[in-house]
Amino acid sequence: MTLRYKIEIAYDGTDFSGWQLQPNAISIQGLLEKCAQQILSQHIRIIGSGRTDAGAHALGQIAHFDGKLTMGPERFQAGLNALLPKTIRILKVETTTDDFHAQYSAHSKIYHYRISSEPCDNPFTRRYTYRPRTPIDVDQLQKAIPLFIGTHDFTTFANVGGKVKNRVRTLFRIDLLKEERVLCLAFEGNGFLYKMVRNIVGTLLEVASGKLALEEIPKLFKAKDRRAAPKGAPACGLTLIRINYDASVQMSEFPCPKNS
């Protein structure tokens, strides 16, 4: 009997072309499907909660697939981890309801963007943080953050290439978490457009470095033109932390994980 399965995935995205299946490129989705088909000897299509950019990471990516397991979920999980590169790990496999959809059932998502204040690139963290080359004024950064919270048309902060026509999204919060030599911007929203988080971070950093005035941000929203805003921050600092599928749970009531 065909059942629907939910899988939780963590990965270091540095060496991959992103989540989404692409021709002539190595993607997370493509590797998962290849390994699943090798184990089960059947066609498997794995649907993710959303695309992550080339070079971006995940601690809690969620996906689902329909298939006939010839073994228990735990054994299937072990089989996937044995075939996948060590930079991709399957954290959990479980059966779910037929109406569950990894993307459309989600109520909110949390992303972290980590910014390093190290004097030079740290070889142990450089794959997971971005180190700007100009000083950051944290006070200015904190003043700019509230301008992005709430329901807005984020067209200016979405790269072309996304197929979604409705560019209105709601950001519930952007928390600034301070760690030793790292600033972590924690985004929680009901959905994110293509490269939206990275583009917002790029704009925040322009404000924090004194290159963009706070008064310009509302004008950027009104422009509804990606070319009007600063370039996005690099993918290396971005991590998908977790996804909420329970409508009764407001993730903003809970602290974000300290490390991503």
pLDDT at 93: 97
pLDDT value, residue 257: 54
Q: In the predicted model, what is the mean pLDDT of residues 88-114?
A: 96
Q: Region 84-107: what's the mean pLDDT?
A: 96
Tell whether the model's pLDDT for residue 221 goes beyond 60.
yes
Candidates 12, 53, 66, 139; catalytic one = 53
Give the model's pLDDT for residue 256. 57
pLDDT at 119 exceeding the cut of 90 = no
| DSSP codes, 62-113 | EEEEEE--SS-HHHHHHHHHHHS-TTEEEEEEEEE-TT--TTTT--EEEEEE
Does residue 233 carry a pLDDT above 90?
Answer: yes
Residue 15 has pLDDT above 70, yes or no: yes
pLDDT band, residue 121 (cuts 50/70/90): confident
Type of residue numbered 124: F
Taking CA atoms, 30 is separated from 86, 95, 162, 190, in Å, by: 15, 21, 19, 26
For residue 171, give every residue at least 6 positions away whose Cβ sits within 8 Å of its Cβ, in sequence order, or none: 148, 149, 150, 152, 187, 188, 189
pLDDT at 259 over 80: no
pLDDT of residue 213: 96
Q: Residue 93 and residue 17: Cα distance in Å, rounded?
A: 24
The confidence score (pLDDT) of residue 51 equals 86
Backbone φ and ψ of 5, nearest 5°? -120, 140
The one-letter amino acid code at 221 reads F
Confidence of residue 223 (pLDDT cuts 50, 70, 90): very high
Q: Which domains does the chain have, with CATH numbers?
A: 3-96 (3.30.70.580), 108-246 (3.30.70.660)
Do 180 and 189 meet the contact criterion of CB atoms below 8 Å apart? Answer: no
**What does the DSSP assignment read for the chain?**
--EEEEEEEEE--TTSS-SS--TTS--HHHHHHHHHHHHHSS----EESS---TT-EEEEEEEEEEE--SS-HHHHHHHHHHHS-TTEEEEEEEEE-TT--TTTT--EEEEEEEEE--SS--TTTTTT-B--SS---HHHHHHHGGGG-EEEE-GGGS-BTB--S--EEEEEEEEEEEETTEEEEEEEES---TTHHHHHHHHHHHHHTTSS-GGGHHHHHHHT-GGGSPPPPPGGGEEEEEEE--TT--GGGSPPPS--
pLDDT > 90: percent of the chain: 81
Residue 53 known to be catalytic = yes
When the pLDDT of each residue in the chain is averaged and rounded to a whole number, the result is 92
Could you count the other beta carbons within 10 Å of the beta carbon of residue 12? 18
Residue 254: what pLDDT?
A: 54
Task: Dump pLDDT digits (tens) for 123-176.
Answer: 999 999 999 999 999 999 999 999 999 999 999 999 876 567 889 999 999 999
- pLDDT higher than 90, residue 248: no
pLDDT tens, residue by residue, 38-90: 999 999 999 999 889 999 999 999 999 999 988 999 999 999 999 999 999 99
Task: Give the pLDDT score at 260.
Answer: 40
